[in-house]
Structure 1
Amino acid sequence: MTASPHHQLDGVDLDALAARLGTPLYVYSASAIRQRIQSLQAALHGTDSLICFAVKANSNRGVLALMHAQGVGADIVSAGELWRAMQAGIPPEHIVFSGVGKSEQEIVEALDAGILRFNVESHDELLTLQRLAQSRGTTARAAVRINPDVDAQTHEKISTGKAENKFGVSIDEARRWFAARHALSHVQLDGLHVHIGSQILSLGPYREALKRVAAFWRELAAGGHVLASIDVGGGLGVCYREGHDHPVDAADYIATVREALAGFEGRLLFEPGRYLVGEAGVLLTRAIRVKHGEERNFLVLDAAMNDLARPSLYDAWHDIAPVGSNTHPATTYDIVGPVCETGDTFARGRTLPACSPGDLLMIHTAGAYGASMSSTYNSRPLAAEVMVDDGRYAVVRQRQRFEDMVAGEQLAGHWESV
């Protein structure tokens, strides 16, 4: 979501906000998030369905509380995300647990919380879940994550549905699980799950994956295996590059799911992450200086790869623009941060109006996988996060202090033996 011509986001002046709270600063539009949620909910009207926000996209409790207020649950991949979701008010019966590496302690915590279901990704995990549920005298509800061997046509590092990826199991293996499920005294295996990747910009990969899942569901039903739910994952893409990225319309996506799974009488689960928050967030940053090199001009910002890792991690494109009026001549820059890595680069050869030290810039579409992936590399405190909503703002994460950054550290003054 971009600022208005008056350089506002959700009715809040970004210049004034940055002057008051400092930079780097993440800003999230509550209105934009609600609009995305409502677009999915409207398309799902009349279905038995639950939207579970992929917490990894943005794990701020203020964002999670907004999700809960709109009737959205949580898709988690760690005990920390479980804790955050429940702290934000999301009830455990609206939480699903995905991920290939759930530890025994994490499984126990999720069992004790009473989450909706586990998306199981290996036979070892299935047996571990059975053993732990039995030891606690409870029954876990589970879905098998199918790896349909479908190319999501996205970046290789966020593709999750091909046979070579670490996620899920083949349909052949899942078939064996269902054939032996009566031996699982404390796991109710009654669901399917599929998630083929992230930042998907066409319906083709979804159609292919859902075709294979639907065929397997019908095969199971013919064999007497009644499914309570099918979780179709997430992955809907957003616009990072204006005029280049053309995201799928939510109504078209839901129509594709409905068509593929027509006749299914159980519950449909959805796990959108980026789609709900990506375009709703921006990262505000100030220019520190302009460096004129022999071959290139460098625009050095106070934001860095520790604040927004996507460009250095995935060579990801984010639109970047000055905030406020700037009619200076167009200039081409490599836009970089102050971290001591060549990879600390947001853009190469990007054309902007000529900038000066102190100018405020906006990195667009930063609401997903921005703050949630940030670190304190180079001993840089975590950026503040703020939510704006119809002319108001609220800080949802204070800027980290040096004292906060080292709070868990201590000198080696007390030595012990094991």
Structure 2
Amino acid sequence: MTQTPYYFYDLDLLNETLSCLESNIKGTNFKVHYAVKANNNRDILETISKKGLGADCVSGGEIRWSLESGFSPSEIVFAGVGKTDEEILYALENEVGMIHCESLQEILVINELAERLNTYATIALRLNPNVNPLTHEKISTGLKENKFGLTSLEFEELIQLYPSLNNVRIVGLHFHIGSQIHDMSVYVELCDRINELVPLFEEHIGEFTYLNVGGGLGIDYFEPDENPIPEFKEYFEVFKEALTIDPSIPVHFELGRSIVGQCGSLHTKVLYVKRSEEKNFAVLDAGMTELLRPALYNAYHKIERLDNVTSGEELHYDIVGPICESSDCFGRDILLPELKRGDIITIRSCGAYAESMSLNYNGRDKVPSYVHSSSELVMREKC
């Protein structure tokens, strides 16, 4: 038996998801960039790059991984609220397609660094639209109190300074309001705000040729088997109908979780079963070091015994890890077939923000990953 814990990736489901995505943007002027922060596993990156998607990167390291995995430099966008000088130089030297800028000072730094390289940087301004994504507060990014995007004060100052910036070319706008979003009305509100801001850009900055609306489309963590592929059709339909900008302007998206979230799972073993007067504990060999989301913001993941046999007695368990933190808990009062030492547990929907957020805390080694692919692709009806 394979040593646990480990990540397991179903490349058939990933390819099916990518094909569904592709079918829903066919015939449009939409371009999707995969958000590398969701999962930087090399097999995952190479599978996605072969489908022709771009890459959305938030660090120099992610740019390097993307280039090494076959993504075209021109299809890479570089975002992030705190880019270092070294990362900006790396992006300029590798001629990435677009840099998304989040502060006035960042734009001034990029102009200075581009001048040093005797080149110019093509940039888009990330504006904060003050749209509530109706998601968890720790993955909300589009409200005024969030750290992301130029402030209105900075935008007004930029209008005055832009004519003197000879080594940056500002061509459009970038938005990203949050993650794990299911309410499509949020995206309608974002489109309404974009429709208001584009004329302002054209009036004060110049020709508008680039729009990036971010990502954030959620997945079904509760019933991953019933909904293994997110509602791409409904999602893209919002932007087709609600945006009023010139239809010849490409609309860029940054999807991460919705592409890879359901194709991955975390397999882990029961080390010990503890019983108390109040509850049962199942102590696993995986912990928050392998899946941080539950400890970070009480995220839910479906937990199953690998054989998924439901005959016999079922009991409620707190499913916990070995880390010396009380927050190292994957779920409380989870109903499962009676567990014993050595049982294999599967934690579902771990394709996004599990391996990429893994830690060496408590001196733990990073765990391996395995992929499965039968190369047989079966499309679901809704795609």
The normalised TM-score by structure 1 is: 0.85
Q: Against the structure 1 CA distance between its residues 49 and 177, is the aligned structure 2 distance closer, same or farther, given a 3 Å change threshold?
A: farther
Residue 207 of structure 2 is aligned with which of 211, 219, 226?
Answer: 226
Say yes or no: does 1:198 pair with 2:179.
yes
Q: Which amino acid aligns with 2:210?
A: S
**1:214-293 matches, cutoff 5 A:** 214-221=195-202, 225-242=206-223, 249-264=231-246, 265-293=248-276
Residue 64 of structure 1 is aligned with which of 42, 45, 50?
Answer: 45
Say yes or no: does 1:111 pair with 2:55.
no
Say yes or no: does 1:136 pair with 2:117.
yes
1:170 deviates by 3.6
**2:340 is matched with which residue?**
356
Q: Does the aligned pair in 2 maintain the 1:152–1:200 contact within 8 Å?
A: yes
Q: Against the structure 1 CA distance between its residues 276 and 317, is the aligned structure 2 distance closer, same or farther, given a 3 Å change threshold?
A: same
**1:103-182 matches, cutoff 5 A:** 103-171=84-152, 173-174=154-155, 176-178=157-159, 180-182=161-163
Aligned sequence identity (%): 38
Q: Which amino acid aligns with 1:280?
A: C
CA distance in 1, matches of 2:230, 2:49: 25
CA distance in 1, matches of 2:93, 2:242: 35
Q: Secondary structure at the match of 1:141?
A: strand
Q: Which amino acid aligns with 1:137?
A: N
Q: Does the aligned pair in 2 maintain the 1:279–1:367 contact within 8 Å?
A: yes
**1:370 is matched with which residue?**
354
Q: Does the aligned pair in 2 maintain the 1:203–1:248 contact within 8 Å?
A: no
Q: Does the aligned pair in 1 maintain the 2:271–2:341 contact within 8 Å?
A: yes
**2:370 is matched with which residue?**
386
**2:291 is matched with which residue?**
308
**2:14 is matched with which residue?**
33
The normalised TM-score by structure 2 is: 0.93
Q: Secondary structure at the match of 1:278?
A: helix
CA distance in 1, matches of 2:37, 2:209: 26
1:179 deviates by 5.7
Deviating more after overlay: 354-363 vs 170-179: 170-179
Q: What whole-Å deviation, never above 9, does each CA across 1:84-137 have from its counterpart, x for those lacking one? A: 111111111110011110000100000000000111000000100100001101
**1:80-119 matches, cutoff 5 A:** 80-119=61-100
Q: Does the aligned pair in 2 maintain the 1:286–1:303 contact within 8 Å?
A: yes
1:224 deviates by 7.6
Say yes or no: does 1:185 pair with 2:166.
yes
Q: Does the aligned pair in 2 maintain the 1:157–1:314 contact within 8 Å?
A: yes
CA distance in 1, matches of 2:95, 2:41: 22
Structure 2 segments unaligned to the other structure (5+ residues): 377-383
**1:347 is matched with which residue?**
331
Q: Against the structure 1 CA distance between its residues 224 and 296, is the aligned structure 2 distance closer, same or farther, given a 3 Å change threshold?
A: closer
Q: Secondary structure at the match of 2:350?
A: coil
1:173 deviates by 3.9
Q: Does the aligned pair in 2 maintain the 1:201–1:248 contact within 8 Å?
A: no
Residue 280 of structure 2 is aligned with which of 277, 297, 300?
Answer: 297
Pairwise CA RMSD of aligned residues? 1.9
Q: Secondary structure at the match of 1:166?
A: coil
Q: Does the aligned pair in 1 maintain the 2:103–2:151 contact within 8 Å?
A: no
Q: Does the aligned pair in 1 maintain the 2:195–2:245 contact within 8 Å?
A: no
Residue 210 of structure 1 is aligned with which of 191, 194, 201?
Answer: 191
